[in-house]
Amino acid sequence: MQSIWHPSPNFGPRRAGLQPSFIVLHYTGMRCSEDALDRLCDPSAEVSAHYMIGTCGTLWQLVAEDQRAWHAGAGAWQGLEDINSRSVGIELVNTGAHPFPETQISALERLLRGVMERWSIPAHRIIAHSDMAPERKEDPGPRFDWARLARQGLAFWPEGFGADVSLSDSLNAIGYPPADATKRLQAFRYRFRQMGTGAESEADRRRAECIARAFRQLC
């Protein structure tokens, strides 16, 4: 897939000999590509990503895949920390309040196939920024179509509901880090139950148990 090389100074070596085993999806929180590129390449901002995809599907590469971009920050997933050293980060230009255009998602799908093949990353290791940092982040948010990616083998989306058991236990099994219960529930909904609102419900618990059961079968 063709990309525009737009190097960011905000990167370093992956620590402890780690290689990419996750892909983390983000939105920029900005209206235009130019502003997002400026920030991701600003040394004083101390943030970056490996790739950024504009609303028209234009793909920029900012950091080489074998290097550690600064996109994930503090957080953890499935008991693992330093997600920056373990992942490739992809930013989607979006404010968080708008749908993701078809051209952008199609470009993302092509990019994901390549990154997954190069690093042997399975679909269940493509995660949201909000998954690994539920107290700090919301991206890529409730408008992002995870089910569409899953239909192509590019994300993890088990269908259905399970038993009505402890939500906390299920979220632990899925891989969510310790966090405020309300924030963890919201992060779970952003990813796996996007129509969910209000207080924790039986539907949340049953959906989470289904996801947790599927994760256990993979591990």
55: tokens are: 């609303």
Identify each DSSP E strand in the chain by its residue range: 4-5, 11-13, 22-27, 51-53, 59-61, 67-69, 87-92, 126-128
Task: State the Cα–Cα distance between residues 5 and 20, nearest whole angstrom.
Answer: 20
Phi-psi region of 205 (alpha: psi -120 to 50; beta: other; left: phi over 0): alpha
Contact 18, 72 (CB under 8 A): no
46 is catalytic: no
Inter-residue contact 21 to 119 (CB < 8 Å):
yes
Token output for 69? 């971009």
34, 46, 91, 202: which is the annotated catalytic residue? 91
CA torsion 84→191→136→139, rounded to 10°?
Answer: 70
Assess whether the previous peptide bond of 140 is cis (omega < 30° from 0).
Answer: yes
Which residues does the annotation mark as catalytic?
A: 91
